[in-house]
Amino acid sequence: MLSAPATPDPGGPAPDVITAEQDLFRSALTRTIDEFLADQADVLTAISEESLPLISSIATLTRGGKRMRALLCYWGWRAAGGAPGDAAPVTAGTALEFFQAAALIHDDIIDRSDTRRGGPSVHRQFSARHTEAGWHLDPERFGVSAAILAGDLCLAFSEELFTASCSAEAGEAARTIFNRMRTEVMAGQYLDLLEEAVGPDQTPEQAELRALNILRFKSAKYSMERPLMLGGALAGADEALLSDFSAFALPLGEAFQLRDDVLGVFGDPGVTGKPAGDDLREGKRTFLIARTLGESGSDVRARINAMLGDTELDDDAVHTLRGLIVASGALAQTETLIEERSAEAFRALAQLDVDTTSLEALRLLAEAAVTRTA
């Protein structure tokens, strides 16, 4: 379990003050998303009402989630001296929410995931629409193709909104961070896809190093580091503060993704919104799996490799794989790595020279990121 971080300053802001400020930001964020999608629905209606399911599928996806990236952007803005109530972090946070939606839509296609947040994934929604309407040709192909377009539309929305958030003074630095974030995610996603294709044709040591590189670029940077830096850059943060943001948020993002990998195997479906052991059926070769293979004998490795990625794995097979992971010691070692990365993040957080409200808000977000159950 995560070691307790440094105790907050008793003279610091009360949690309800931070909650109230975050609630105002979330409300503004939700309102901006809804208004933007309503405007885009008008655009699509003028083209053809038949295109409106693209918007409705995106609206469903952006209605949920923890808003973690947008909140990090907001507190990066505030920690760099930005004023509460300003529109810039709301617009930038909205851009991040649409980028996240695009990543989820495309990731579910790549991973062949049927569910997202307790409901059907976007490509499954479109496949079902095809089947229910009795249309011609393959519903699966239609669903995947339509979801790709919905994801691409989210990327276009994200770019439009981000451009609107940039001031002339802070635009160049923020643009550099935003552009780098997008490239990192696409490269990380490809490396993840490549890892599944390479599969067992590498040593466990190589697999571990590759898994850690993937989680850094596919998730950790864009989940934690880049949103915080982006908010800071929009408020005019200098290079020193942006570097301090990175020192805190990058290890936090790695702990966040390692936790996600554990939940993908051991999480409660009622909480995660995903079937039990879904990552095993999808064949995800995470650090948890790489460490399991590295700590297991040849017979167990062969058994795991034969089962991993089998979409027909039943609950008994998932239970068996979970048992092999635990017996190898890989689960305990992954939990240790989560704790190490978390401790690194909290040490860096303690060194941040920012106002006490922002510092406490970031501490609370960090705790939530690494101790979550969904």
pLDDT score recorded for residue 11: 54
pTM exceeds 0.85, yes or no? yes
pLDDT for res 331 = 97
Cβ(367)–Cβ(90) below 8 Å: no
Mean pLDDT by 10-residue block, N- to C-terminus, for the chain (374 residues)?
45 79 96 97 98 96 90 98 94 97 95 87 97 96 98 98 84 93 96 87 88 95 97 96 98 96 90 82 92 94 93 92 97 97 98 96 94 80
**How distant, in Å, are the alpha carbons of 92, 98, 289 from that of 87?**
9, 17, 43
- Residue 35 has phi, psi (to 5 degrees) of -65, -40
Tell me the DSSP string of 179-227: HHHHHHHHHHHHHHHHHHHHTTSS-HHHHHHHHHHHIIIIIIIIIIIHH
d(CA 128, CA 114): 11
Cα(62)–Cα(37) distance, integer angstroms: 10
Identify any residues that bridge with 119 across adjacent strands, giving them in sequence order: 116
**If DSSP codes are grouped into helix, strand and coil, which group holds residue 308?**
coil
In Å, how far are 40, 108, 277 from 67, measured between CA atoms?
Answer: 21, 19, 25
Dihedral angle of Cα 32, 36, 38, 40, to the nearest 10 degrees = -170
Q: How much is the pLDDT for 12?
A: 63
Q: Which of 185, 21, 40 is nearest to 90 (CA)?
A: 21
- Residue-level pLDDT at 93: 97
Nearest CA to 186 among 282, 92, 107?
107
pLDDT of residue 217: 96
Closest CA to 287 of 271, 264, 314: 264
For residue 152, the SS3 value is helix
Amino acid at residue number 261? D
pLDDT at 3: 43
